[in-house]
Every structure is written in structure tokens, then in C-alpha cells.
Chain A
Amino acid sequence: EVQLLESGGGLVQPGGSLRLSCAASGFTFSSYAMSWVRQAPGKGLEWVSAMSISGGSTYYADSVKGRFTISRDNSKNTLWLQMNSLRAEDTAVYYCAKRSSGSYMSYFDYWGQGTLVTVSS
């Protein structure tokens, strides 16, 4: 059974940093591309970042480019999202999502439970 367990969310002041983790199990992590998606309170889904199976290719939404960094360790079955220079508008539930293959052209087939990030003074 595919499981994605996010952690690391919490309350942080504007301008602060936070590192989210996604622990994956139930599939061969190193064979699948991964992504982060967020959802602000009462709002829709917003794709944030994606990473290839090797980590050699990374992609970011314009809203987070230069501030967020996605990374992975295939030996630890873990995906991370380093979030710097946080703003109030980054407040959201952050979901880790598994992709259907290692291709950049793969759909999002499983979602984690999400972790809440609140940026406020």
C-alpha cells in the first residue's frame, strides 16, 4: 500500500524558514517522480514543485521560485521541501504527491495527508 507521510509543518514568522519532509513507503521510491502541491485555507489546489527520479531535474511554480528548494534521498525514501523567505501567502496545507512513473509527463496518482504551514507574526 502506497503511503506518503508529510511532517515539518507549523507556525513560522514572515521571512522565516521551514523544511517539510515526506516519508514514502509501499512502492519503489527511486522509480517515481514526486511533487509538492499546496492548498491555502478555503482555496483550490496549487502545484508547487516537482523533482525527477534522480533529482537531476527540478521544477517550481513562479510563486515559489528562488525561495523553495525540492530535494530527495532515494536511499531514505524521503522527499523534502526547503522553504525560505516565507510569506503570509505561503500559508497552506502542503501535500506530497507521488507521480505515476519516472517520466516528467506522469500524472499524480497518490497524495499524502498533508502538513499545515502557517506564516504569521
Chain B
Amino acid sequence: DIQMTQSPSSLSASVGDRVTITCRASQGISNSLAWHQQKPGKVPKLLIYAASTLQSGVPSRFSGSGSGTDFTLTITSLQPEDVATYYCQKYNSAPYTFGQGTKLEIK
């Protein structure tokens, strides 16, 4: 099975900072990669699919890139409401594995 590895596991940044989270697949998955955001105590929410397509309603400060095995989620100007844990997920085929998550906090 393909493993999904995120880095870092946790991250602290200041408001207005540019933040980058990476996700690596153990085998190529083309662009079948989604990013989900889970705010504390809340339900996960889809942010990005097809590696770089923003889900409707998601602020434009979020962006995704990558293909194959290496992917990136970028927040261009961190806002207080972005405090959350971010998960990547492959969906090209079962098992639909998630990364272990990256917990993002405000410094």
C-alpha cells in the first residue's frame, strides 16, 4: 500500500507569514491528492483537490502544488483562523490513506 508522509508534524508561525506543508507519497499518485483542514473540535473540511484545485469558498491564500510523489500546501499570509491540523489524502485508489497530519499554531 502507498504511504503518505507529511512534514512537519507541527508548525508555529506568525500572522502574515507564508507557511508551507509538504506531503510525500511512497509511490506516484499522479495528481490524486486532496488537502483537508480540521479546526480544533470541528469536522474536517476539504480545502484542495486534484493537488491544486481550490474547493469552492476556500480563501485564495491557500494553494496546492505537486504531482507524482511530492506535494505542497501553501498559505501565503497566515491568519488566526487558519489554526488547524492539515491532512493530505490520496484518492487514486483504495486504501484512501491520509497523512499523519500537520498541526499549525500561531506564534
Question: CB < 8 Å: which of A44, A47, A95, A108 contacts B100?
Answer: A44
Q: Choose the segment among B19-27, B38-46, B63-71 that binds chain A (4+ C-beta atoms closer than 8 Å).
A: B38-46
Question: Assuming A108-B34, A108-B36, A108-B89, is B94 touching A59 (CB within 8 A)?
Answer: yes
Which among B34, B91, B99, B100 has the greatest number of chain A C-beta atoms within 10 A?
Answer: B91
> Is B59 an interface residue when CB atoms closer than 8 A count as contact?
no
B34 touches A114 (CB 8 A): no
Question: Assuming A45-B36, A45-B101, is B43 touching A104 (CB within 8 A)?
Answer: no
Cα A112 to Cα B38 in complex, Å, equals: 13
B96 touches A95 (CB 8 A): no
Question: CB < 8 Å: which of B44, B85, B87, B101 contacts A95?
Answer: B44
Q: Nearest B residue to A112 by beta-carbon distance?
A: B43
- B interface secondary structure, majority: loop
B13 to chain A, nearest CB (A): 20
Question: CB < 8 Å: which of B34, B38, B44, B99 contacts A107?
Answer: B34
Cα A108 to Cα B92 in complex, Å, equals: 12
Cα A95 to Cα B44 in complex, Å, equals: 9
> Is B98 an interface residue when CB atoms closer than 8 A count as contact?
yes
Cα A60 to Cα B12 in complex, Å, equals: 35
Interface string of A90-120 (1 = CB under 8 A from B): 0000010000100011111111111000000
A66 to chain B, nearest CB (A): 15
Q: Nearest B residue to A93 by beta-carbon distance?
A: B43
A45 touches B87 (CB 8 A): yes
Chain A to chain B contacts (Cβ below 8 Å), 14 pairs: A44-B99, A45-B36, A47-B89, A47-B95, A50-B94, A62-B1, A62-B95, A105-B91, A107-B34, A107-B50, A108-B36, A108-B89, A108-B96, A110-B46
